[in-house]
Structure 1
């Protein structure tokens, strides 16, 4: 479930954060679903528990998961209205990237194709 590339230049905890976010966004991990414990996941991935803890803290600070003392970490129920600020940030980043893509010669059709690819990927997985 959590495939990590140990040869990547991207930090392991960042890869883990990205993977969990992807699984949540694609609805593979459901609202209030319990995540593996830090110790359990560290053993499974054969990495330091501190790395898992760091990833979980980052996910919690971004609002993707929450923890219950003595119980573990869980997927935060998606509340689209509460993500207004996050959506603003993503929208601004997307505008910058689209402007750059258009400047570099990407067409509206290519952009639309990418959007369809992303939407299709979310439904397929």
Structure 2
């Protein structure tokens, strides 16, 4: 499991609202099996302070995830991954969560005149650099 401090990668410059970024990242972490039932999420305050964002933004994301059944509140602990949350069983299910980002990447590469081969090599380098950053 990623450390609570490194759980979210919030990027305010993106068009995607911050609360949505948090929601989608938790969905992917659960689908990928990196967050398991019972795992604690960082507190609203901790996430807000770390990323210099409004606590209400984090609270909104957590509430949406709770309504979706992915998270549950535990008195004295905070938000945890719900008991019924399971990783995606098939690679296709995980890829479906990645599809919007891949389409956006493809669109941007096309607009920049980057060939598919160049884009694939750049993606491979980016994936390798992420793998090196994860303890």
TM range (shorter): 0.5 to 0.7
Name the residue aligned to 2:82.
76
Match of 2:31 among 21, 25, 39: 25
Runs (4 or more) in structure 1 with deviation over 4 Å come to: none
Which of 64, 83, 107 does residue 58 from structure 1 map onto? 64
Unpaired stretches in structure 1, ≥5 consecutive residues:
81-89, 95-123
Gaps of 5+ in 2: 1-6, 87-92, 97-130
Report what 1:39 is aligned to.
45
Between the two proteins, the alignment pairs up a number of residues equal to: 85
- SS of 2:80's equivalent in the other structure is strand
Normalising by structure 1, report the TM-score.
0.60
- Larger Rg belongs to: 1
Q: TM-score, normalised by structure 2?
A: 0.56
2: CA distance between counterparts of 1:38 and 1:9? 22
- RMSD of Structure 2 on Structure 1 (CA): 2.4
